Chains A and B, each alone.
Chain A
Amino acid sequence: MTEISGGAGARPGGSGQDDRRGPEAALARAFVRLADTLASDFDIVDFLQGLSADSVEILGAEAAGVMLTDGRGGLRLIASSDERMRLLELFELQGEQGPCLDAFSTGRAVQAGAADSRVRWPDFAPRASDSGFQMMCAVPLRVRTDVIGAMNLFRGTDAPFTADEMDIAQAMAEMAAIGLIQERALRERSLLTEQLQAALTSRVIIEQAKGMLAEYLQVTVDDAFQLLRNYARTRNRKLSDVARDVVDRKILSTALATRPGRES
Protein backbone atom coordinates (compact mmCIF):
# COMPACT_ATOMS: atom_id res chain seq x y z
CA MET A 1 0.00 0.00 0.00
CA THR A 2 2.75 2.42 0.93
CA GLU A 3 4.40 1.95 -2.41
CA ILE A 4 1.45 3.27 -4.31
CA SER A 5 0.17 6.02 -2.05
CA GLY A 6 3.36 7.15 -0.35
CA GLY A 7 6.05 6.41 -2.90
CA ALA A 8 4.78 8.52 -5.76
CA GLY A 9 6.57 11.79 -6.21
CA ALA A 10 8.79 11.16 -3.24
CA ARG A 11 11.56 9.80 -5.39
CA PRO A 12 13.65 12.46 -7.09
CA GLY A 13 14.14 12.24 -10.83
CA GLY A 14 11.37 9.70 -11.14
CA SER A 15 10.63 8.35 -14.57
CA GLY A 16 7.19 8.21 -16.12
CA GLN A 17 6.49 5.13 -14.08
CA ASP A 18 6.70 7.09 -10.89
CA ASP A 19 4.19 9.65 -12.04
CA ARG A 20 1.18 8.13 -10.38
CA ARG A 21 -1.14 11.09 -10.34
CA GLY A 22 -3.19 10.35 -13.43
CA PRO A 23 -6.43 8.42 -13.65
CA GLU A 24 -4.56 5.11 -13.37
CA ALA A 25 -3.17 6.20 -10.02
CA ALA A 26 -6.63 7.06 -8.75
CA LEU A 27 -7.84 3.65 -9.89
CA ALA A 28 -4.90 1.88 -8.27
CA ARG A 29 -5.51 3.70 -4.99
CA ALA A 30 -9.20 2.82 -5.15
CA PHE A 31 -8.38 -0.87 -5.60
CA VAL A 32 -6.04 -0.83 -2.64
CA ARG A 33 -8.79 0.69 -0.50
CA LEU A 34 -11.29 -1.88 -1.76
CA ALA A 35 -8.98 -4.72 -0.76
CA ASP A 36 -8.53 -3.36 2.75
CA THR A 37 -11.51 -4.88 4.53
CA LEU A 38 -9.78 -7.00 7.15
CA ALA A 39 -8.58 -4.18 9.38
CA SER A 40 -9.83 -4.36 12.95
CA ASP A 41 -11.60 -1.00 12.70
CA PHE A 42 -13.38 -1.84 9.43
CA ASP A 43 -16.64 0.05 8.92
CA ILE A 44 -18.96 -1.07 6.17
CA VAL A 45 -20.62 2.32 5.66
CA ASP A 46 -17.29 4.13 5.39
CA PHE A 47 -16.08 1.44 3.00
CA LEU A 48 -19.04 1.77 0.63
CA GLN A 49 -19.05 5.54 0.96
CA GLY A 50 -15.48 5.32 -0.30
CA LEU A 51 -16.56 3.12 -3.20
CA SER A 52 -19.22 5.69 -4.19
CA ALA A 53 -16.80 8.59 -3.99
CA ASP A 54 -14.06 6.74 -5.91
CA SER A 55 -16.52 5.71 -8.62
CA VAL A 56 -17.69 9.29 -9.09
CA GLU A 57 -14.12 10.48 -9.40
CA ILE A 58 -12.76 7.73 -11.62
CA LEU A 59 -15.72 7.17 -13.91
CA GLY A 60 -16.77 10.77 -14.42
CA ALA A 61 -20.18 10.20 -12.88
CA GLU A 62 -22.07 12.89 -11.06
CA ALA A 63 -23.37 10.72 -8.28
CA ALA A 64 -23.12 7.14 -7.08
CA GLY A 65 -24.87 5.02 -4.48
CA VAL A 66 -24.54 1.49 -3.14
CA MET A 67 -27.23 -0.89 -1.92
CA LEU A 68 -26.68 -4.25 -0.25
CA THR A 69 -28.91 -7.27 0.11
CA ASP A 70 -30.83 -7.60 3.36
CA GLY A 71 -30.52 -11.38 3.14
CA ARG A 72 -34.22 -11.80 2.39
CA GLY A 73 -34.23 -10.90 -1.27
CA GLY A 74 -34.56 -7.15 -0.73
CA LEU A 75 -32.01 -4.34 -0.87
CA ARG A 76 -30.98 -1.70 1.63
CA LEU A 77 -29.44 1.64 0.94
CA ILE A 78 -25.99 1.81 2.50
CA ALA A 79 -24.04 4.68 0.96
CA SER A 80 -24.58 7.58 -1.45
CA SER A 81 -22.18 10.15 -2.78
CA ASP A 82 -24.68 12.97 -2.32
CA GLU A 83 -28.10 13.80 -0.92
CA ARG A 84 -29.91 13.84 -4.28
CA MET A 85 -28.74 10.30 -4.94
CA ARG A 86 -29.81 9.17 -1.49
CA LEU A 87 -33.38 10.44 -2.00
CA LEU A 88 -33.56 8.90 -5.47
CA GLU A 89 -32.38 5.55 -4.20
CA LEU A 90 -34.93 5.58 -1.41
CA PHE A 91 -37.54 6.30 -4.07
CA GLU A 92 -36.18 3.43 -6.15
CA LEU A 93 -36.54 1.05 -3.22
CA GLN A 94 -40.03 2.26 -2.37
CA GLY A 95 -41.22 2.05 -5.98
CA GLU A 96 -39.46 -1.27 -6.49
CA GLN A 97 -38.23 -0.07 -9.85
CA GLY A 98 -34.90 1.25 -11.14
CA PRO A 99 -31.39 0.39 -12.37
CA CYS A 100 -29.96 -0.82 -9.04
CA LEU A 101 -32.81 -3.28 -8.54
CA ASP A 102 -32.38 -4.58 -12.10
CA ALA A 103 -28.63 -5.03 -11.71
CA PHE A 104 -29.21 -6.84 -8.42
CA SER A 105 -31.91 -9.18 -9.71
CA THR A 106 -30.20 -10.04 -13.01
CA GLY A 107 -26.59 -9.95 -11.81
CA ARG A 108 -25.74 -7.87 -14.90
CA ALA A 109 -24.77 -4.28 -15.54
CA VAL A 110 -27.52 -2.03 -16.94
CA GLN A 111 -27.40 1.37 -18.60
CA ALA A 112 -30.11 3.62 -20.02
CA GLY A 113 -30.27 7.20 -21.31
CA ALA A 114 -33.15 9.63 -20.84
CA ALA A 115 -35.52 8.16 -23.45
CA ASP A 116 -34.65 4.55 -22.81
CA SER A 117 -34.97 4.88 -19.07
CA ARG A 118 -38.52 6.23 -19.28
CA VAL A 119 -39.54 3.02 -21.00
CA ARG A 120 -37.73 0.72 -18.59
CA TRP A 121 -38.53 2.54 -15.38
CA PRO A 122 -41.58 4.73 -16.06
CA ASP A 123 -41.97 5.84 -12.44
CA PHE A 124 -38.32 6.17 -11.52
CA ALA A 125 -36.82 7.82 -14.64
CA PRO A 126 -38.87 11.08 -14.55
CA ARG A 127 -37.98 11.48 -10.91
CA ALA A 128 -34.26 11.01 -11.70
CA SER A 129 -34.53 13.46 -14.56
CA ASP A 130 -36.14 16.04 -12.24
CA SER A 131 -33.13 15.62 -9.98
CA GLY A 132 -30.86 16.39 -12.92
CA PHE A 133 -29.77 12.92 -14.04
CA GLN A 134 -29.99 11.83 -17.68
CA MET A 135 -27.72 8.79 -17.92
CA MET A 136 -28.33 5.95 -15.48
CA CYS A 137 -26.12 2.96 -15.00
CA ALA A 138 -25.93 0.23 -12.35
CA VAL A 139 -23.51 -2.64 -11.77
CA PRO A 140 -23.99 -5.66 -9.47
CA LEU A 141 -21.74 -6.31 -6.46
CA ARG A 142 -21.07 -9.86 -7.41
CA VAL A 143 -18.60 -12.67 -6.69
CA ARG A 144 -19.10 -15.41 -9.23
CA THR A 145 -22.81 -16.23 -8.89
CA ASP A 146 -23.25 -14.60 -5.49
CA VAL A 147 -24.84 -11.14 -5.88
CA ILE A 148 -24.74 -9.19 -2.62
CA GLY A 149 -25.83 -5.74 -3.86
CA ALA A 150 -25.55 -3.16 -6.62
CA MET A 151 -24.17 0.31 -7.30
CA ASN A 152 -25.89 3.14 -9.16
CA LEU A 153 -23.82 5.53 -11.27
CA PHE A 154 -25.65 8.55 -12.66
CA ARG A 155 -24.60 11.33 -15.03
CA GLY A 156 -26.16 14.74 -15.54
CA THR A 157 -25.50 14.64 -19.30
CA ASP A 158 -26.81 12.13 -21.80
CA ALA A 159 -23.28 10.81 -22.51
CA PRO A 160 -23.30 7.02 -22.06
CA PHE A 161 -20.64 5.24 -20.01
CA THR A 162 -18.15 3.69 -22.45
CA ALA A 163 -17.48 -0.04 -22.50
CA ASP A 164 -14.17 0.61 -20.71
CA GLU A 165 -15.89 2.66 -18.04
CA MET A 166 -18.49 -0.04 -17.55
CA ASP A 167 -15.72 -2.62 -17.21
CA ILE A 168 -13.95 -0.52 -14.59
CA ALA A 169 -17.20 0.07 -12.70
CA GLN A 170 -17.87 -3.66 -12.72
CA ALA A 171 -14.33 -4.46 -11.58
CA MET A 172 -14.56 -1.99 -8.68
CA ALA A 173 -17.94 -3.41 -7.66
CA GLU A 174 -16.60 -6.96 -7.79
CA MET A 175 -13.55 -6.00 -5.78
CA ALA A 176 -15.82 -4.45 -3.15
CA ALA A 177 -17.98 -7.58 -3.10
CA ILE A 178 -14.95 -9.83 -2.58
CA GLY A 179 -13.75 -7.61 0.24
CA LEU A 180 -17.16 -7.60 1.91
CA ILE A 181 -17.56 -11.36 1.66
CA GLN A 182 -14.12 -11.90 3.16
CA GLU A 183 -14.83 -9.46 5.94
CA ARG A 184 -18.15 -11.13 6.70
CA ALA A 185 -16.54 -14.58 6.80
CA LEU A 186 -13.80 -13.35 9.12
CA ARG A 187 -16.28 -11.65 11.45
CA GLU A 188 -18.48 -14.74 11.51
CA ARG A 189 -15.51 -16.99 12.27
CA SER A 190 -14.25 -14.70 15.01
CA LEU A 191 -17.64 -14.75 16.70
CA LEU A 192 -17.96 -18.52 16.42
CA THR A 193 -14.40 -18.93 17.72
CA GLU A 194 -15.20 -16.84 20.78
CA GLN A 195 -18.30 -18.91 21.49
CA LEU A 196 -16.44 -22.20 21.14
CA GLN A 197 -13.54 -20.98 23.30
CA ALA A 198 -15.93 -19.76 26.00
CA ALA A 199 -17.72 -23.11 26.04
CA LEU A 200 -14.45 -25.05 26.30
CA THR A 201 -13.09 -22.78 29.03
CA SER A 202 -16.21 -22.96 31.18
CA ARG A 203 -16.12 -26.74 31.01
CA VAL A 204 -12.64 -26.71 32.53
CA ILE A 205 -13.64 -24.22 35.22
CA ILE A 206 -16.76 -26.19 36.18
CA GLU A 207 -14.63 -29.32 36.71
CA GLN A 208 -12.11 -27.36 38.76
CA ALA A 209 -14.89 -25.90 40.89
CA LYS A 210 -16.35 -29.36 41.44
CA GLY A 211 -12.98 -30.61 42.69
CA MET A 212 -12.47 -27.59 44.92
CA LEU A 213 -15.90 -27.93 46.53
CA ALA A 214 -15.50 -31.68 46.94
CA GLU A 215 -12.34 -31.02 48.92
CA TYR A 216 -13.57 -28.08 51.02
CA LEU A 217 -16.88 -29.74 51.89
CA GLN A 218 -15.62 -33.33 51.91
CA VAL A 219 -18.31 -34.54 49.51
CA THR A 220 -18.08 -36.47 46.22
CA VAL A 221 -17.52 -34.57 42.97
CA ASP A 222 -21.04 -35.53 41.89
CA ASP A 223 -22.50 -34.03 45.05
CA ALA A 224 -20.34 -30.97 44.54
CA PHE A 225 -21.83 -30.59 41.07
CA GLN A 226 -25.35 -30.79 42.52
CA LEU A 227 -24.51 -28.05 45.00
CA LEU A 228 -23.13 -25.87 42.20
CA ARG A 229 -26.25 -26.42 40.11
CA ASN A 230 -28.64 -25.73 42.97
CA TYR A 231 -26.81 -22.54 43.88
CA ALA A 232 -26.87 -21.32 40.27
CA ARG A 233 -30.52 -22.26 39.78
CA THR A 234 -31.88 -20.65 42.93
CA ARG A 235 -30.03 -17.44 42.16
CA ASN A 236 -30.84 -17.56 38.46
CA ARG A 237 -27.16 -17.40 37.54
CA LYS A 238 -25.21 -19.25 34.89
CA LEU A 239 -23.47 -22.38 36.10
CA SER A 240 -20.20 -21.31 34.50
CA ASP A 241 -20.31 -17.91 36.27
CA VAL A 242 -20.89 -19.52 39.65
CA ALA A 243 -18.07 -22.00 38.98
CA ARG A 244 -15.73 -19.15 38.12
CA ASP A 245 -16.60 -17.36 41.35
CA VAL A 246 -15.94 -20.55 43.32
CA VAL A 247 -12.56 -21.03 41.64
CA ASP A 248 -11.68 -17.36 42.23
CA ARG A 249 -12.87 -17.81 45.84
CA LYS A 250 -15.44 -15.06 45.51
CA ILE A 251 -18.10 -17.47 46.74
CA LEU A 252 -17.24 -19.38 49.90
CA SER A 253 -17.76 -23.11 49.70
CA THR A 254 -19.90 -22.96 52.82
CA ALA A 255 -22.39 -20.73 51.01
CA LEU A 256 -23.05 -23.53 48.55
CA ALA A 257 -23.57 -26.07 51.28
CA THR A 258 -26.27 -23.95 52.90
CA ARG A 259 -29.85 -24.69 51.91
CA PRO A 260 -31.41 -21.61 50.34
CA GLY A 261 -34.33 -21.67 52.78
CA ARG A 262 -32.08 -21.44 55.80
CA GLU A 263 -30.01 -18.60 54.52
CA SER A 264 -30.20 -15.39 56.47
Chain B
Amino acid sequence: MRDDGRRARIMAAVIGQDAVAGAGELVKRLCRFAVDEMALSGCALVLMSGRESAGMLAGAGRHASTVSGLQMDLGEGPCLQAYASGVPVFLPDLAADGASRWPAFAAAALAVGVHAEFSLPLTTGPGGIGTLDLCRDRPGMLSEEHLADALVTADIARDAVLFQQYAPGDTGLAELLDTSGADRIVVYQATGMIAAQLDETMSNALARLRAAAFASGRPMHDIAQDVVARRVRFDD
Protein backbone atom coordinates (compact mmCIF):
# COMPACT_ATOMS: atom_id res chain seq x y z
CA MET B 1 0.00 0.00 0.00
CA ARG B 2 1.53 3.31 -1.05
CA ASP B 3 1.07 6.10 1.40
CA ASP B 4 4.25 8.10 0.80
CA GLY B 5 5.73 6.80 4.02
CA ARG B 6 2.96 8.36 6.06
CA ARG B 7 2.32 5.24 8.11
CA ALA B 8 6.02 4.86 8.89
CA ARG B 9 6.32 8.53 9.84
CA ILE B 10 3.34 8.41 12.21
CA MET B 11 4.56 5.18 13.79
CA ALA B 12 7.98 6.74 14.32
CA ALA B 13 6.37 9.82 15.87
CA VAL B 14 4.23 7.88 18.35
CA ILE B 15 6.86 5.33 19.25
CA GLY B 16 9.63 7.89 19.66
CA GLN B 17 12.70 6.83 21.58
CA ASP B 18 11.12 4.44 24.03
CA ALA B 19 9.46 1.16 23.12
CA VAL B 20 5.68 1.03 23.28
CA ALA B 21 4.45 -1.40 25.94
CA GLY B 22 1.55 -2.67 23.85
CA ALA B 23 -1.47 -1.80 21.77
CA GLY B 24 -3.16 -0.08 24.71
CA GLU B 25 -0.32 2.38 25.03
CA LEU B 26 -0.11 2.71 21.26
CA VAL B 27 -3.73 3.81 20.82
CA LYS B 28 -3.38 6.37 23.63
CA ARG B 29 -0.30 7.81 21.95
CA LEU B 30 -2.04 7.90 18.58
CA CYS B 31 -4.77 10.08 20.07
CA ARG B 32 -2.16 12.31 21.71
CA PHE B 33 -0.29 12.53 18.39
CA ALA B 34 -3.46 13.61 16.57
CA VAL B 35 -4.24 16.30 19.15
CA ASP B 36 -0.71 17.76 18.96
CA GLU B 37 -0.16 17.37 15.23
CA MET B 38 -3.55 18.66 14.08
CA ALA B 39 -4.17 21.25 16.82
CA LEU B 40 -7.30 19.50 18.11
CA SER B 41 -9.18 20.08 21.34
CA GLY B 42 -10.00 16.39 21.54
CA CYS B 43 -9.37 13.06 19.87
CA ALA B 44 -11.04 9.80 20.86
CA LEU B 45 -11.00 6.22 19.68
CA VAL B 46 -14.56 5.03 20.16
CA LEU B 47 -15.54 1.36 19.92
CA MET B 48 -19.09 0.55 18.89
CA SER B 49 -21.22 -2.51 18.41
CA GLY B 50 -24.49 -1.02 17.34
CA ARG B 51 -26.25 2.30 17.70
CA GLU B 52 -26.69 2.03 21.42
CA SER B 53 -23.30 0.78 22.47
CA ALA B 54 -20.27 2.98 22.28
CA GLY B 55 -17.36 3.36 24.61
CA MET B 56 -14.22 5.43 24.43
CA LEU B 57 -11.19 3.15 24.31
CA ALA B 58 -8.61 5.92 24.44
CA GLY B 59 -8.57 9.66 24.11
CA ALA B 60 -6.57 12.85 24.44
CA GLY B 61 -7.43 16.53 24.79
CA ARG B 62 -10.07 18.19 26.94
CA HIS B 63 -12.92 17.29 24.57
CA ALA B 64 -11.90 13.65 24.25
CA SER B 65 -14.97 12.11 25.87
CA THR B 66 -17.35 14.94 25.05
CA VAL B 67 -18.36 14.01 21.55
CA SER B 68 -19.07 10.30 22.02
CA GLY B 69 -20.73 10.92 25.38
CA LEU B 70 -23.12 13.48 23.93
CA GLN B 71 -24.06 11.22 21.06
CA MET B 72 -24.86 8.31 23.34
CA ASP B 73 -27.01 10.56 25.49
CA LEU B 74 -28.81 12.06 22.53
CA GLY B 75 -28.88 9.01 20.26
CA GLU B 76 -27.75 11.07 17.29
CA GLY B 77 -24.60 12.56 15.82
CA PRO B 78 -21.74 12.26 13.35
CA CYS B 79 -19.89 9.29 14.86
CA LEU B 80 -23.03 7.14 14.88
CA GLN B 81 -23.52 8.12 11.27
CA ALA B 82 -19.88 7.38 10.35
CA TYR B 83 -20.03 4.00 12.08
CA ALA B 84 -23.31 3.01 10.43
CA SER B 85 -22.38 4.19 6.93
CA GLY B 86 -18.65 3.42 6.90
CA VAL B 87 -18.10 6.88 5.38
CA PRO B 88 -16.30 9.76 7.17
CA VAL B 89 -18.42 12.66 8.39
CA PHE B 90 -16.93 16.15 8.36
CA LEU B 91 -18.52 19.02 10.25
CA PRO B 92 -16.02 21.86 9.90
CA ASP B 93 -18.50 24.34 11.35
CA LEU B 94 -20.99 22.83 13.78
CA ALA B 95 -22.87 26.10 14.07
CA ALA B 96 -23.54 26.11 10.34
CA ASP B 97 -23.67 22.45 9.18
CA GLY B 98 -24.51 20.66 12.41
CA ALA B 99 -27.77 22.35 13.23
CA SER B 100 -29.70 21.03 10.27
CA ARG B 101 -28.50 17.43 10.48
CA TRP B 102 -28.23 16.87 14.24
CA PRO B 103 -29.80 19.85 15.99
CA ALA B 104 -29.66 18.43 19.53
CA PHE B 105 -26.08 17.22 19.14
CA ALA B 106 -24.88 20.45 17.53
CA ALA B 107 -26.44 22.60 20.26
CA ALA B 108 -24.99 20.48 23.07
CA ALA B 109 -21.53 20.30 21.49
CA LEU B 110 -21.40 24.06 20.85
CA ALA B 111 -22.50 24.65 24.44
CA VAL B 112 -19.36 22.90 25.71
CA GLY B 113 -17.10 24.62 23.17
CA VAL B 114 -16.79 22.07 20.33
CA HIS B 115 -17.00 23.93 17.00
CA ALA B 116 -15.74 21.38 14.49
CA GLU B 117 -16.01 17.61 14.46
CA PHE B 118 -14.56 14.99 12.10
CA SER B 119 -15.57 11.38 12.50
CA LEU B 120 -13.61 8.66 10.69
CA PRO B 121 -15.03 5.13 10.65
CA LEU B 122 -12.70 2.27 11.61
CA THR B 123 -13.78 -0.02 8.80
CA THR B 124 -12.76 -3.58 8.09
CA GLY B 125 -14.20 -4.42 4.70
CA PRO B 126 -17.92 -4.91 5.21
CA GLY B 127 -17.98 -4.13 8.94
CA GLY B 128 -16.51 -1.67 11.37
CA ILE B 129 -15.47 -1.49 15.00
CA GLY B 130 -16.05 2.17 15.79
CA THR B 131 -14.72 5.61 14.92
CA LEU B 132 -11.78 7.91 15.40
CA ASP B 133 -13.27 11.25 16.40
CA LEU B 134 -11.40 14.53 16.07
CA CYS B 135 -12.77 17.79 17.33
CA ARG B 136 -11.69 21.40 17.55
CA ASP B 137 -12.74 24.35 19.65
CA ARG B 138 -12.84 26.56 16.56
CA PRO B 139 -14.47 26.11 13.16
CA GLY B 140 -12.43 25.17 10.07
CA MET B 141 -11.77 22.21 7.82
CA LEU B 142 -8.75 19.96 8.41
CA SER B 143 -6.00 20.59 5.89
CA GLU B 144 -5.46 17.88 3.30
CA GLU B 145 -2.22 16.94 5.00
CA HIS B 146 -3.92 16.61 8.39
CA LEU B 147 -6.78 14.66 6.91
CA ALA B 148 -4.39 12.22 5.26
CA ASP B 149 -2.56 11.82 8.58
CA ALA B 150 -5.85 11.30 10.41
CA LEU B 151 -6.96 8.55 8.02
CA VAL B 152 -3.69 6.68 8.45
CA THR B 153 -3.84 7.19 12.23
CA ALA B 154 -7.30 5.60 12.19
CA ASP B 155 -5.97 2.62 10.20
CA ILE B 156 -3.10 2.06 12.62
CA ALA B 157 -5.41 2.30 15.63
CA ARG B 158 -7.91 -0.10 14.07
CA ASP B 159 -5.26 -2.72 13.34
CA ALA B 160 -3.68 -2.32 16.77
CA VAL B 161 -7.02 -3.07 18.41
CA LEU B 162 -8.05 -5.85 16.04
CA PHE B 163 -4.82 -7.77 15.94
CA GLN B 164 -3.95 -7.35 19.62
CA GLN B 165 -7.35 -7.95 21.22
CA TYR B 166 -6.51 -11.56 22.08
CA ALA B 167 -2.73 -11.27 22.14
CA PRO B 168 -1.47 -12.99 25.27
CA GLY B 169 0.59 -10.68 27.41
CA ASP B 170 -0.87 -7.46 26.03
CA THR B 171 -2.61 -6.68 29.30
CA GLY B 172 -2.63 -2.95 28.51
CA LEU B 173 -5.12 -3.34 25.70
CA ALA B 174 -7.15 -5.97 27.58
CA GLU B 175 -7.56 -3.50 30.44
CA LEU B 176 -8.60 -0.74 28.07
CA LEU B 177 -11.12 -3.04 26.39
CA ASP B 178 -12.50 -4.05 29.77
CA THR B 179 -12.90 -0.48 30.91
CA SER B 180 -14.03 1.07 27.63
CA GLY B 181 -17.60 2.20 27.99
CA ALA B 182 -17.47 1.62 31.77
CA ASP B 183 -19.36 4.88 32.27
CA ARG B 184 -22.24 3.47 30.22
CA ILE B 185 -22.70 0.38 32.39
CA VAL B 186 -25.11 2.14 34.71
CA VAL B 187 -27.15 3.24 31.68
CA TYR B 188 -27.47 -0.37 30.46
CA GLN B 189 -28.46 -1.56 33.93
CA ALA B 190 -31.04 1.21 34.26
CA THR B 191 -32.39 0.31 30.82
CA GLY B 192 -32.94 -3.26 32.03
CA MET B 193 -34.74 -2.03 35.13
CA ILE B 194 -36.98 0.35 33.20
CA ALA B 195 -37.79 -2.42 30.70
CA ALA B 196 -38.95 -4.57 33.64
CA GLN B 197 -40.93 -1.71 35.21
CA LEU B 198 -42.77 -0.91 31.99
CA ASP B 199 -42.82 -4.43 30.52
CA GLU B 200 -41.14 -2.96 27.46
CA THR B 201 -38.33 -3.85 25.04
CA MET B 202 -34.79 -2.63 25.74
CA SER B 203 -34.86 -0.11 22.91
CA ASN B 204 -38.15 1.38 24.10
CA ALA B 205 -36.86 1.49 27.66
CA LEU B 206 -33.72 3.29 26.47
CA ALA B 207 -35.84 5.76 24.51
CA ARG B 208 -37.81 6.52 27.68
CA LEU B 209 -34.61 7.07 29.66
CA ARG B 210 -33.24 9.31 26.94
CA ALA B 211 -36.45 11.32 26.75
CA ALA B 212 -36.44 11.79 30.53
CA ALA B 213 -32.87 13.07 30.39
CA PHE B 214 -33.64 15.43 27.53
CA ALA B 215 -36.80 16.78 29.17
CA SER B 216 -35.08 17.40 32.50
CA GLY B 217 -31.84 18.73 31.02
CA ARG B 218 -29.85 16.29 33.15
CA PRO B 219 -27.22 13.87 31.82
CA MET B 220 -28.59 10.42 31.06
CA HIS B 221 -25.92 8.93 33.28
CA ASP B 222 -27.28 10.79 36.36
CA ILE B 223 -30.85 9.66 35.83
CA ALA B 224 -29.62 6.11 35.25
CA GLN B 225 -27.84 6.23 38.58
CA ASP B 226 -31.07 7.33 40.27
CA VAL B 227 -32.90 4.42 38.65
CA VAL B 228 -30.33 1.83 39.73
CA ALA B 229 -30.28 3.33 43.26
CA ARG B 230 -34.10 3.04 43.23
CA ARG B 231 -34.62 6.75 43.76
CA VAL B 232 -36.56 7.04 40.48
CA ARG B 233 -39.09 4.71 38.88
CA PHE B 234 -40.62 4.91 35.43
CA ASP B 235 -43.93 3.19 36.21
CA ASP B 236 -45.15 5.74 38.73
Contact B189 A214 (CB under 8 A): yes
CA distance A121 to B42 in the complex (A): 64
Q: Which of B126, B188, B192 contacts A215 (CB under 8 A)?
A: B192
CA distance A209 to B53 in the complex (A): 15
A211 adjacent to chain B (CB < 8 Å): yes
List residues of A whose CB falls within 8 A of some B CB: 38, 40, 186, 189-190, 192-201, 203-204, 207-216, 221, 247, 253
Contact A204 B52 (CB under 8 A): yes
Query: Chain A at the B interface: mostly helix, strand, loop or mixed?
Result: helix
Contact B202 A193 (CB under 8 A): no
Contact A215 B49 (CB under 8 A): no
- For residue A198, which residues in chain B have a CB less than 8 angstroms away from its CB? 49
- Interface centre among B177, B194, B195, by most A CB within 10 Å? B195
Contact A211 B125 (CB under 8 A): no
- Interface centre among A195, A211, A214, A215, by most B CB within 10 Å? A211
Min C-beta distance of A257 to chain B, whole Å: 14
B124 adjacent to chain A (CB < 8 Å): yes
Contact B53 A189 (CB under 8 A): no
Which residue on B lies nearest to A210, using beta carbons? Answer: B189
Interface CB pairs A-B, < 8 A, 22: A38-B125, A40-B126, A186-B125, A192-B124, A199-B177, A200-B48, A200-B181, A201-B49, A201-B50, A203-B181, A204-B49, A207-B192, A208-B191, A208-B192, A211-B188, A211-B194, A214-B228, A215-B193, A215-B197, A216-B196, A221-B189, A247-B202
CA distance A197 to B163 in the complex (A): 14
Contact B161 A196 (CB under 8 A): yes
- For residue A247, which residues in chain B have a CB less than 8 angstroms away from its CB? 192, 195, 202
Residues 153-171 of B contacting A (Cβ, < 8 Å): 159, 161-163, 165-166
- For residue A213, which residues in chain B have a CB less than 8 angstroms away from its CB? 192
With contact pairs A196-B129, A200-B47 given, residues A208 and B165 touching in the complex (Cβ less than 8 Å) = no
Residues 179-215 of B contacting A (Cβ, < 8 Å): 181, 185, 188-197, 202
Q: Which of A189, A203, A204, A214 contacts B193 (CB under 8 A)?
A: A214
Min C-beta distance of A115 to chain B, whole Å: 44
With contact pairs A190-B127, A204-B49, A204-B53 given, residues A196 and B162 touching in the complex (Cβ less than 8 Å) = yes
Q: Which of B48, B162, B177, B228 contacts A221 (CB under 8 A)?
A: B228
CA distance A253 to B127 in the complex (A): 35
Min C-beta distance of B86 to chain A, whole Å: 12
Contact A194 B127 (CB under 8 A): yes
B128 adjacent to chain A (CB < 8 Å): yes
Min C-beta distance of A180 to chain B, whole Å: 15
Q: Which of A196, A199, A211 contacts B192 (CB under 8 A)?
A: A211
Contact A201 B53 (CB under 8 A): yes
Contact A190 B188 (CB under 8 A): no
CA distance A247 to B202 in the complex (A): 8
Contact B127 A197 (CB under 8 A): yes
CA distance A197 to B122 in the complex (A): 12
Contact A215 B202 (CB under 8 A): no
- For residue B125, which residues in chain A have a CB less than 8 angstroms away from its CB? 38, 186, 189-190
Which residue on A lies nearest to B163, using beta carbons? Answer: A192
Which residue on A lies nearest to B128, using beta carbons? Answer: A193
Contact B124 A190 (CB under 8 A): yes
- For residue A203, which residues in chain B have a CB less than 8 angstroms away from its CB? 53, 181
Contact A193 B181 (CB under 8 A): no
Which residue on B lies nearest to A217, using beta carbons? Answer: B196
CA distance A194 to B192 in the complex (A): 25
- For residue B197, which residues in chain A have a CB less than 8 angstroms away from its CB? 215
CA distance A187 to B194 in the complex (A): 40
Contact B196 A212 (CB under 8 A): yes
Given A208-B202, A210-B189, A247-B195, 11 new contacts (CB under 8 A): A186-B124, A189-B159, A189-B162, A192-B165, A195-B165, A195-B166, A196-B161, A197-B127, A208-B188, A212-B195, A247-B202
Contact B47 A211 (CB under 8 A): no
Contact A211 B49 (CB under 8 A): no
Which residue on B lies nearest to A194, using beta carbons? Answer: B127
